[in-house]
Amino acid sequence: MSIIIAIDLGGTQLRVAAFSPQSSTPLRVIRTSTPTLRDEIFLEISKAIDTLKTEGELLGICAACPGPTDPARGIILSAPNIPGLENYPLGTLLQERYGVPASVQNDANMAAVGEWRYGAGRGHKDLLYLTISTGIGGGVICNNQLIIGAHGLAAEFGHITVLPDGPLCSCGQRGHLEAISSGTAIARYVTEQIAAGRPSSLAEETNITARDVAMAARQGDALAKEAYDRAARFLAQGMADFLHLFNPSIVILGGGVSQSRELFFEPMQQLLQKLVMSSAYLKELQIVPAELGDDAGLLGAFVHVSLQQTVLGDLANSHL
C-alpha cells in the first residue's frame, strides 16, 4: 500500500498522520507537543514519519505550518508562535531524508484546501476561507486552483488596511483587519476603553479575552457589544473588498470568533448587503461556518500531496 504523510505543525500541538491516497480517514495519527527548539521539531517529525512509514510505501509529505512559507523553496519563513523557525528549510530536510516530494504550506491555505475537498466548500470552484481567532488568516481557491502567489505569500486576509492610521497590527502596520476584527483586537479594544475610563462589567477583569467580551455582550454590557459591532463592521467592509476582488461562490468562516453568530457573523452579513457595489456579488453566494475544525489543515495537507501540484481541477472532477 502507498501512504501520504500530512503534518500539522501547530503552536502547541504537532500532528503527523499517515493517509491512504484513497481515503480522508487517516490510517494513524501521532500527536505530540510542539517542541520549543528548532532542531527538535525536525527530530520529532522524522521520528513520527519513521514509525508511520512502516504502513506502506511513502508517496509524499506536506506540512501545514503557521505563518508564511515559501513552498517553491521548501522553507518556513517564520512561525509567529514557534520561536527559532525563521527561514527553516523543513521541506528540503524532509525531501532529503525520505527521497519523496515534501512541501511546506501555510496552514490557512491548507485549511482552505481541506474545506474545499472535504468540508463546507465541496463542489465550489471559487472559494474563500477565512479563519478568525487570535489572528486572521485565510486561503483562496479560484477555478479549483489554490492561489499562493509568486512566493507563497498570497491570501493574507488579515492584512488589508480597513482603517487608515488605525490600531497597530501584529505585523507592524496600522489599521489592518486583524488589528480590529480578530479576537485579540476585540479584547484589546475593550481593555483600552476601560483604561480610558469607559464603564463595563469587565472593568475589574484582568487579561480580558474575546470570549469574556462575548459573554459580557450577551449579558447586555454596552462596551462589549460595541467591540463586537466594531469588529463585525470592519469585517463586513473587508469582506466586500474580498468579494469585489475574488467574486467567490462561497465564503467559509473558521476560527473561534466567527462562531459568535448573533454578535459577529449575523451583523457582518447584514452590513455586507449594504457594502457590495452590486447585488450580483451576493447572487448565489453562501457564507457558512467551516466544517472541519482543527482537522482542516491536516486534511488539506493530505489533499495537497494527493494532487501533487496546486492545480486542483482534476481531483475536483474525480470520484476519490
Residues engaged in binding a second copy (CB under 8 A): 68, 77, 125-126, 140, 142-143, 145, 147-157, 159-164, 169, 171-173, 176, 237, 240-242, 244-249, 275, 277-278, 280-281, 283-285, 310-311
Q: For a second copy, give the closer residue by CB, 49 or 136.
A: 136
- Residue among 72, 68, 61 nearest 96 (CA): 61
Q: For a second copy, give the closer residue by CB, 29 or 275.
A: 275
Tell me which H or E stretch contains 234: helix 222-246
Q: Closest separation between CB of residue 272 and a second copy, Å?
A: 12
- Residue among 43, 99, 105 nearest 305 (CA): 105
Q: Closest separation between CB of residue 274 and a second copy, Å?
A: 9
68 within 8 A of 78, measured Cβ to Cβ: yes
Burial of 74 (0-12, 13-18, 19+ CB in 10 A): buried
Q: Closest separation between CB of residue 206 and a second copy, Å?
A: 30
Distance CA 9, CA 66 (A): 7
Helix (H) and strand (E) counts for the chain?
10, 12
Amino acid at 161: T
Long-range CB contacts for residues 72-77, cutoff 8 Å, separation at least 24: 72/151, 72/152, 74/102, 74/103, 74/104, 75/104, 76/104
Q: Closest separation between CB of residue 178 and a second copy, Å?
A: 10
Enumerate the H helices of 14-106 as residue ranges: 38-52, 90-98
The partner residues of 132 in beta bridges, in order of sequence, read: 136
Q: For a second copy, give the closer residue by CB, 106 or 200.
A: 106
Q: Closest separation between CB of residue 152 and a second copy, Å?
A: 7
Q: For a second copy, give the closer residue by CB, 57 or 165.
A: 165
Q: For a second copy, give the closer residue by CB, 5 or 136.
A: 136
Note the Cα 305 to chain centre separation in Å.
18
Q: For a second copy, give the closer residue by CB, 37 or 311.
A: 311
Q: Closest separation between CB of residue 135 and a second copy, Å?
A: 12
Amino acid at 149: G
Q: Closest separation between CB of residue 121 and a second copy, Å?
A: 12
Q: For a second copy, give the closer residue by CB, 93 or 140.
A: 140
